[in-house]
Amino acid sequence: MFTVKNGPFTETAADAVLVGLFDKPLKFEGVLEPLDQAFSGNLTELVKNGDVSAKKGEAAIVPTLGYLQAKRLVFAGLGKDKETDFHVIHEAVTKAAKLAEKSGLESIAVILDSFVTENVTAVEAAEAVFEAWFLAQFHYTGYRTPGNEPEKLLTSVLVFTESDPAEVKAACKVGQTMAMGTNTARRLTATPSNMMTASDLADHAQELAGRYKFEIEVLEREDMEKIGMGAFLAVAQGSVAPPKMITLKYKPHEDWENVLTFVGKGITFDTGGYSIKSKEGIVGMKTDMGGAAAVLGAMEIIGELQPDQPVMAVIAATDNVISANAFKPDDVITSLSGKTIEIKNTDAEGRLVLADAVTYAKQQRAGKIIDVATLTGGVIIALGKDKTGAITNNEPFFEQVLEASRESGEMIWQLPLTEHDKKRIRSSDVADLNNSPGRDGHAIMGGGFIGEFAEDTPWVHLDIAGSAEMSPGVMTRTLAILALSEVESE
């Protein structure tokens, strides 16, 4: 798929050559000098006259008109070299890939050193270029009949660099793997719920387990009845599709203590149940398993890149539908933890399935828990769609998650959880907890409810209801980066 080479790039016959271009002054010097020479100085002319420009984060494409063997040049605009970083390269290469795609490229050559600055190494640049390019390549073709799928996809990438080819190659793999895991999450999320049931999610997990030697366990309805997963089962009660509680364990060595655990909301379709959604609100609810998708995408990355620390994934998968058997408002249910819950709203189902998933994760020796969920419309009102809302019971752990999100570029914003909030979550006349204490601080009520089950285990809740709509696959990379980062021993 990709090859890394030292040496001259001007002879490559790739469909396009990808070049990073710095601003002010925009010059073909250093590594790019041979390129301008190949064009008999005409590139400099084109830039001077403003015929070619790629501003920071933008891209431009020009035909090579026989000056090079390659057919096109694709410029990624990087701004001033001192200001360029991973994220600038990412943005520019995304645009470049989209532009290039229109010409249906099957092969590209990357002049990697044209992206390198005092602040950005070849390794960082390689990771950014590969991640961005393969993310930009994603298309959900869905179930369009043949002939309607998009154009050709990239099959070969040639990277030219003067840096150590082995190191650069490893970085290319990291970038590509991050993108592929995210694209998996996007594909799972985009698949309609009639083709992405809890069983389909379990099949996907099974496939990952086979490929990467994860341990896997899938609890069936009867298993869950035996151990008393009453909160999850209440949500699944109305469904004819078998619910699944899916656990994946990545065990790089014998130790299985204090395990970093990702818990995903896998509601394959959310009708709201008897607290039914409006005909407008219900459309799009196939994506209510976006949290599960991010967790599965991250596990794919972990399987590929094999970090040192053990990781567990727990996914609560079912749909939330209406039938004669479905749970109802006013019902009282008993969760796996033993805590009882009064149902005020069957549309607040995510926190219920996650309650049992979190308790189950703790039973499986989770030491740090991140739950990822399209949990509330409230988080969209509070933060908009470009940020993921977070809640925590442990600031140092949250800092680690925040740091990973800074690296991935997936923005997180923390919401408070006060004693007053907790009191509201515990406000039921007939049970320990209330699943919907009213619309005030809606996103906090949802996250805080899950926190009642995390108890003392360090926990971060990520509400992606808005961010997953704007950026499907969101949090896949943040989770993976966290798993790949060094664990500080306590």
Nearest to 306, CA basis, from 401, 213, 168, 372: 213
Instruction: Decide whether 310 or 378 has the Cβ nearer to ligand BES.
Output: 378
Instruction: Residue 204: name its binding partner from Zn ion, ligand BES, none (Cβ under 5 to 8 Å by kind).
Output: none
Report what 196 binds from Zn ion, ligand BES, none; CB cut-off 5-8 Å by kind. none
Q: How many residues bind Zn ion (CB under 5 A)?
A: 6
Site membership for Zn ion, residue 463 (CB under 5 A): no
Cβ 12 to ligand BES, closest distance in Å?
45
Nearer to ligand BES, 58 or 347 (CB): 347
How far apart (Å, rounded) are the C-alpha atoms in residues 185 and 94? Answer: 18
The verdict on 288 binding Zn ion (CB under 5 A) reads: yes
Q: Rank residues 189 and 400 by Cβ distance to ligand BES and give the closer one.
A: 189
Contact letters for Zn ion, residues 324-353 (x by CB under 5 A):
-----------------------x-xx---
Under the criterion CB under 5 A, does residue 270 sit at the interface with Zn ion? Answer: yes
* C-alpha 155, offset from chain centre: 23
Q: Which of 27, 169, 251, 277 is catalytic?
A: 277
Residue nearest to ligand BES (CB): 377
Minimum distance from CB of 350 to Zn ion (Å)?
5
CA pair distance 150, 182, nearest whole angstrom: 20
Phi, psi of 462 (to 5 degrees): -120, 110
| Closer Cβ to Zn ion, 126 or 267, answer by number | 267
Smaller CB separation from Zn ion, 117 or 268: 268
Question: Minimal distance in Å, beta carbon 370 to ligand BES?
Answer: 18
Q: Are 391 and 371 in contact (CB under 8 A)?
A: no
- Write out the residues near ligand BES by the rule CB under 6 A: 270, 272, 288, 345, 347-350, 374-378, 436, 442, 465
Which is catalytic among the residues 339, 351, 362, 477? 351
Nearer to ligand BES, 101 or 288 (CB): 288
Nearest to 458 by CA among 372, 388, 367: 367
Nearer Cβ to Zn ion (112/234): 234
Find the shortest distance in angstroms from Cβ 469 to ligand BES: 6
Instruction: Output the smallest distance, CB 282 to Zn ion, in A.
Output: 10
How many CA atoms within 13 Å lie on the side-chain side of 39? 20
Partner from ligand BES, Zn ion, none contacting 436, C-beta within 5 to 8 A by type? ligand BES
Q: With CB cut-offs between 5 and 8 Å by kind, which of ligand BES, Zn ion, none does residue 465 bind?
A: ligand BES
Q: Kindly tell me the burial class for residue 184, based on how many C-beta atoms sit within 10 Å of its own C-beta (0-12, 13-18, 19 or more).
A: buried
**Residue closer to Zn ion, measured from CB, 76 or 443:** 443
Shortest Cβ distance from residue 343 to Zn ion (Å)?
A: 12
DSSP-derived pairing of the beta strands 107-111 and 340-342: unpaired
Q: Which does 345 bind (CB under 5 to 8 A by kind): Zn ion, ligand BES, none?
A: ligand BES
Mark the segment that binds Zn ion (CB under 5 A) among 127-135, 178-186, 268-276, 437-445.
268-276
Question: How far, in Å, CA of 422 to CA of 443, rounded?
Answer: 13
Query: Which tokens is 360 given?
Result: 């189950």
Q: What is the Cα–Cα distance from 163 to 268, expressed in whole angstroms?
A: 46
Tell me which residue of 286, 325, 275, 276 sits closest to 197, measured CA to CA: 286
**Closer residue to ligand BES in complex, CB, 208/235:** 235
Look at residues 365, 372, 410 and name the one whose alpha carbon lies nearest to residue 391: 372
Closest CA to 298 of 478, 90, 487, 130: 478
Whether 351 sits among the annotated catalytic residues: the reply is: yes
Could you tell me the smallest distance in angstroms from the CB atom of residue 270 to ligand BES? 4
Q: Could you give the residue numbers annotated as active site?
A: 277, 351
Applying CB under 5 A, the residues found at the interface with Zn ion are 267, 270, 288, 347, 349-350
